[in-house]
Amino acid sequence: MIEDKEFPCRVALVTGAAGGIGSAIARALAARGTVVAVVDRDAARLAALTDELAEDGLKAAAFPADVSDADQVERAVDRIEVELGPVDLLVNAAGVLRPGSAVTMTDADWRAVFAVNLDGVFHCCRAVAARMKERGEGAIVTIASNAGRVPRLQMAAYGASKAAASSYTKSLGLELAQHGIRCNVVSPGSTDTPMLHALWSDPSDRQLTIEGSSAAYKTGIPLRRIAEPADIADAVLFLASARARHITMQDLCVDGGAVLGA
């Protein structure tokens, strides 16, 4: 565990913590002495994560909840603040991807994507920010996507939900700035997680992701590598730290240059 005087976060709430990016963020925070409340609807994977962190001497506690359910979120935040203490940092990392045509996607798939990627961000921010305002401090980081900046084939719902989550987080940051609360966004590109692997159907797809595809109107990755979850976690750590104390309402794109700075 690293003692970092410039990292003031004592208690963090990380949603989507059973996923690749969420679990990496939880580990990175815990490694800096933060007590991490890990939230996800997959209770079994949350339990495995907390066990792994405990074996490494890191502090984390599982609070299973579905972020698309406002009541579950409120109950979880209440428990976290009673059992662990005031939440200094909220990281909205829960996300789902259901590829589909913008024309033929079903209502059910559209709503499922927005329920987690946008409604979940709203529910968690509302619950945590109300408590942060009373204390006059805190930080919120939402994990969006570079797909929210540029169009992607078969990703209309995902991109739209992430763009909306980014916009909401920035508007929230404007409202909360007077209370000393910073709200920022991290937008990953292709990251080595199960979500990305689920989009691949051939061993060559990894290299195609790096090279890009003119048929899919998709540029490659100029830095010639797919991000690791730790790369996203490092961006979150920076935005949560005292080094970023004068940064709010920003969207940091961590995609190796894939959207060419868009």
Are 119 and 42 contacting, i.e. CB atoms less than 8 angstroms apart? no
Task: Verify whether residue 168 is a known catalytic residue.
Answer: no
Q: Which of 158, 173, 182, 229 is catalytic?
A: 158
Instruction: Give the residues across from 251 on adjacent strands.
Output: 185
Q: Which residues pair with 28 in a beta bridge?
A: none
Instruction: List the end-to-end C-alpha distance of the chain, in Å, as a whole number.
Output: 36
Pick the closest to residue 94 from 123, 71, 74 (CA basis). Answer: 123
**What is the DSSP code string of the chain?**
----TT---SEEEEETTTSHHHHHHHHHHHTTT-EEEEE-S-HHHHHHHHHHHHHTT--EEE----TT-HHHHHHHHHHHHHHT----EEEE-------B-TTT--HHHHHHHHIIIIIHHHHHHHHHHHHHHHHT-EEEEEE--GGGTS--TTBHHHHHHHHHHHHHHHHHHHHHGGGTEEEEEEEE-SBSSHHHHTT--STTHHHHHHHEEGGGTEE--TTSSPBPHHHHHHHHHHHHSGGGTT--S-EEEESTTTTTT-
Residues taking part in catalysis: 158
